[in-house]
Amino acid sequence: MPSSTVQSIGDRITYAWHEDALTIIIGQSIPRTQRMMLEGWFLAWLAVGGATAMEMVGATGSDRTFFLIFMAFWAFFAFRVLKVILWRRIGREMVRITAEGMSVKNAFSDLGRARFFIKGNIKKMEVVQRDPTKFMQNLDQSFWIMGGDSLQFTYLRGRFVLGKQLDNKSAAQLAKLIDKGLRKF
């Protein structure tokens, strides 16, 4: 039996019911202006790194040590921002529910490793409640960060999350859809 038509929840979540599975894709794209700001910031960061590297060439002693430490931090943040840029351009969360269980994959295009959860051990799919007065919870919803998961569930003794940076309405609908899929298969 061919897969059913693709349906959507909000503007970022698409799903399709199949004979033996439910597949859900959560896109990670952001508005063009935000993507341009993120990429502009990255280019400025590259310029800072280039200027620092040029200064480091002539440095000796403790100055060279300072530049090496600075460049290590610079490279760390350059990698993190590049990862977010790629996530916003080609990233997506892929969820597949079958009779055996649920797999969740953070994919760059199709690259990524899926985590598999046995169906009988998945408990309590719920929307993550955020406190608007908590700085870190609000920061996780920023477009320059990959985090900000919106759903959580208990698996064995641990808590696992998915649904990056979804609004509450979409997250609640997604939680219901996943619960329905877990019951159906």
User: What percent of the chain has a predicted confidence (pLDDT) above 70?
Assistant: 98
Computed over every residue of the chain, the mean pLDDT equals 94
CB 176 within 8 A of CB 183: no
| Distance separating alpha carbons of residues 33 and 36, to the nearest angstrom | 5
| Distance separating alpha carbons of residues 115 and 179, to the nearest angstrom | 18
Confidence band for 143, pLDDT divided at 50, 70 and 90: very high
| Distance separating alpha carbons of residues 93 and 19, to the nearest angstrom | 21
**Helices assigned H by DSSP within 21-95:** 32-57, 61-90
Poorest-pLDDT segment among 16-30, 139-153, 166-180: 139-153
Query: What pTM value is reported for the model?
Result: 0.89
More confident residue, 137 or 14: 14
Q: Judge whether residue 126 has pLDDT over 90.
A: yes
pLDDT digits 0-9 by tens, 68-88 = 999 999 999 999 999 999 999
CB 15 within 8 A of CB 3: no
The pLDDT of 127-144, averaged and rounded, is 88
